[in-house]
Amino acid sequence: MKPKAIYKNNSDNQEHLKRVLGNSLDVIYRLFNISAFRNSEAMLVYIKTLIDDQTISQQILKPLISEMPLANERSFIKKFDYIAWVTEKGIFAANVQRLTSWQEVLDYLLSGNTLLFINGCSDCLAIYTKTNESRDLQEPSTESEVRGSRDGFVENIEKNIMLIRNRIKESGLRFENMVIGKKTKTSVVLVYIKNLVDEALLKEVRTRLERISIDGVLESAYLEELIEDAPLSPFKQIKNTERPDKACSAILEGRIVILTDNTPTALLVPTMFWEILQSPGDYYERYYVATFIRWIRIIALFISTSISSMYIMLTAYHQEMIPTALAMHIAAGRENVPFPAVVEALFMEIVFEVLKESGLRMPRPIGNAVSIVGALVIGEAAVRAGLIGDIMVITIALSSIASFALPAYGMINSIRLLRFPLIMLTAMLGLFGYLAGIMAIVLHLLSLRSFGVPFLAPVNPLNKSIMKDIFIRSPWWAMSTRPSDYHVSDTNRQSPNAMPQPSKKNSDLKAAESRRKTTKKKVGGGL
């Protein structure tokens, strides 16, 4: 049975910890005497794989062992207790917590803190000594951009908090911590701006996270599946990102970012479907270029979802819709193919998915080569063997390539999955099957919500104020308000009428222009 109070004797405390933690080789018990306390015995307990040795030596052991207290502090020690003196004047550590129960002791010890027990004291001190060693900041591999920051989230939650703090220097920025996971006790941090976020949204996020009862959280995907609105939907209703600039952009819109310890991926809530078309690089380029790229992504979304189904529909049911020359070429290419178009499409779709997965799991130096060479060799061999038509290889390859033009990798998987039911429906009913599949997908999207926000907003329900950043990317001076669908407290992003233009009352500019014209006249006259 676990005792409630900490023992006053260090031997009893050590025995109890060994009974709970076992004889783990990385749990260290360091015994020493504090001369200021008439050589009272003290004990440090820490897990050496989680702590910084230098911090313990310089901030705890050195002041307690080698540095004697001043004579006038004897009365302070006598009046109060040893723990109070150590907290106030005995050590150099900045983060110290007094503990009174064994549950607190175990939680702090397993989180990388060092425990200090002193004989005769019924309390102990938890001193923050956790090492900050982690992977160096690197550019996110799945969200690379031509222009913009090159740093990305890492597995250390403190570094991730630092990346957000460096970008948003606002007093209202809040980092709210909670611990989830009975065994892992994973730190989960909610990040938001107090005077922007909707209180109802914040309360809902807290409620969904607090009701999670699971033994461990090893990645943010655990939380994503446990707090989304429609868990049976193929579409992700919570966006994830490795880019701090994207996370900060969501915070400035009044949304909430969820950081999870030991994972480089942050969750953004709420999320809209149209974010599948948006990329951080859109806001670092000219708005004309960004708008053109967005329409390219819209076309890529259509190609990725529908081109395989349309090929089956046109070749199997509606040949009259194909130009005659192309229809004859397709027929000639499929002359020796013994299978119907739907079997060709399913075969090639599965082959390409296998190649993608194999390239992803293989060692990086050879993964890309195997994917590319495998696709070329298998496609060419299948055409020569008469298993598929050459047009089908082009169709499936175009469908796969188009899916990677979308910047939201999580949504790409949903698109890849939906291609298969669309192919089957089109194979059974032709154009009617294709339209039925598209209508079913649209109706399902209309029914989805992300933390109370319609998933297809602002298209449905229509909100013209946010349409400036959906199918087009309006210039920054035209987007003076934040998205109102997030119910933010302050909708003003910048002052209205922010379109830049030369000042008409600037005397210095007029004088410079006059001097330029005078100089030009003199030079022209000399010639």
pLDDT digits (tens, 9 = 90+) for 341-365: 888 888 888 888 887 777 777 776 6
Closest Cα partner for 352 from 439, 450, 419? 419
Q: Which of 19-28, 61-70, 252-261, 330-339 has the lowest mean pLDDT?
A: 61-70
Domain co-membership, 387 together with 443: yes
The last residue of one of the domains, among 240, 271, 302, is: 271
76 CB-near residues (< 8 Å, 6+ apart): 85, 88, 89
d(CA 424, CA 220) in angstroms, rounded, equals 34
pLDDT for 238: 92
144 CB-near residues (< 8 Å, 6+ apart): none
What's the length of the chain? Answer: 527
Domain co-membership, 341 together with 426: yes
Closest Cα partner for 132 from 52, 26, 47, 242? 52
393 in a structural domain = yes
* φ, ψ of residue 32 in degrees (nearest 5): -160, 170
Q: Which of 138-142, 199-203, 517-521 has the lowest mean pLDDT?
A: 517-521
pLDDT for 527: 38
d(CA 172, CA 44) in angstroms, rounded, equals 38
Confidence of residue 441 (pLDDT cuts 50, 70, 90): very high
Confidence of residue 3 (pLDDT cuts 50, 70, 90): low
Domain co-membership, 211 together with 74: no
Confidence of residue 526 (pLDDT cuts 50, 70, 90): very low
486 CB-near residues (< 8 Å, 6+ apart): 198, 201, 253, 254, 255, 270, 453
Q: Is the pLDDT of residue 26 over 70?
A: yes
140 in a structural domain = no
Q: Is the pLDDT of residue 217 over 90?
A: yes
182 in a structural domain = yes
Q: Average pLDDT, stretch 267-276?
A: 91
Domain co-membership, 264 together with 313: no
Q: What's CA 101's distance to the chain center, in Å?
A: 36
pLDDT for 145: 83
pLDDT for 78: 56
Q: Are residues 303 and 400 in contact, defined by beta-carbon separation less than 8 angstroms?
A: no
Q: Using alpha carbons only, what angle is made at residue 88 by residues 87 and 92, rounded to the nearest 5 degrees?
A: 75
Q: Is the pLDDT of residue 212 over 90?
A: yes
SS3 letters across 206-241: HHHHHCCCCCCCCCHHHHHHHHCCCCCCCCCCCEEE
- The whole-chain average pLDDT of the chain stands at 84
Confidence of residue 522 (pLDDT cuts 50, 70, 90): low
d(CA 326, CA 345) in angstroms, rounded, equals 19
The last residue of one of the domains, among 271, 302, 337, is: 271
**Tokens 């598929």 label which residue?**
388
pLDDT for 192: 95
- Domains held by the chain: number: 3
Instruction: Return the amino acid letter for 206.
Output: R
pLDDT for 335: 76
Q: Is the pLDDT of residue 387 over 60?
A: yes
Domain co-membership, 359 together with 410: yes
Q: Is the pLDDT of residue 520 over 70?
A: no
Q: Is the pLDDT of residue 475 over 80?
A: yes
d(CA 454, CA 487) in angstroms, rounded, equals 12
pLDDT for 23: 84
513 in a structural domain = no
Please report, for residues 7, 8, 22, 115, the alpha-carbon distance to residue 1 in angstroms, rounded to integers and kept in the order given: 14, 18, 16, 22
Domain co-membership, 33 together with 117: yes
55 in a structural domain = yes
Long-range pairs for 206-213: beta carbons < 8 A, 24 or more residues apart: 206/176, 206/178, 209/178, 209/180, 209/258, 210/178, 212/180, 213/182
Q: Average pLDDT, stretch 482-495?
A: 83
pLDDT for 461: 82
Q: Is the pLDDT of residue 203 over 90?
A: yes
Q: Are residues 253 and 469 in contact, defined by beta-carbon separation less than 8 angstroms?
A: no
Residues linked to residue 5 through DSSP beta bridges, in sequence order? 101
* φ, ψ of residue 259 in degrees (nearest 5): -100, 140
Residues linked to residue 245 through DSSP beta bridges, in sequence order? none
Token reading at 461: 């329900």
Half-sphere exposure of 330 (CA within 13 A, CB side): 20
Q: What is the DSSP string of 379-421?
A: HHHHHHTTSS-HHHHHHHHHHHHHHTTSS-HHHHHHHHHHHHH
Domain co-membership, 182 together with 246: yes
Domain co-membership, 442 together with 301: yes
- What's the DSSP call for residue 263? -
Instruction: Report the percentage of the chain scoring pLDDT > 70.
Output: 90
pLDDT for 355: 78
Pairing status of strand 239-241 against strand 266-269: antiparallel
341 in a structural domain = yes
Q: Using alpha carbons only, what angle is made at residue 467 by residues 462 and 468, rounded to the nearest 5 degrees?
A: 160
Q: Is the pLDDT of residue 480 over 90?
A: no
Closest Cα partner for 108 from 86, 128, 88, 87? 128
Domain co-membership, 31 together with 124: yes
Give the tens place of pLDDT for each residue, 92-134.
Answer: 887 888 998 888 899 899 888 999 998 888 889 999 988 877 7
Domain co-membership, 257 together with 384: no
Q: Which of 18-32, 53-67, 100-114 has the lowest mean pLDDT?
A: 53-67
Residues linked to residue 51 through DSSP beta bridges, in sequence order? 130
Q: Average pLDDT, stretch 180-194?
A: 93
Domain co-membership, 314 together with 437: yes
Q: Is the pLDDT of residue 271 over 80?
A: yes
The last residue of one of the domains, among 271, 303, 337, is: 271
Judged on CB neighbours under 10 Å (0-12, 13-18, 19+), 270 is buried
d(CA 227, CA 322) in angstroms, rounded, equals 47
- Alpha helices by DSSP H, 70-136: 74-79, 82-85, 102-110
450 in a structural domain = yes
Structural domain span for residue 257: 157-271
Q: Is the pLDDT of residue 151 over 60?
A: yes
d(CA 5, CA 192) in angstroms, rounded, equals 38
Token reading at 163: 């990346």
Residues linked to residue 269 through DSSP beta bridges, in sequence order? 256
Q: Which of 158-172, 185-199, 393-407, 428-442 has the lowest mean pLDDT?
A: 393-407
142 in a structural domain = no
Domain co-membership, 252 together with 294: no
Give the tens place of pLDDT for each residue, 63-96.
Answer: 888 765 544 455 555 555 778 878 877 788 878 8
pLDDT for 71: 43
Q: Average pLDDT, stretch 403-432?
A: 87
Instruction: Report the percentage of the chain scoring pLDDT > 90.
Output: 35
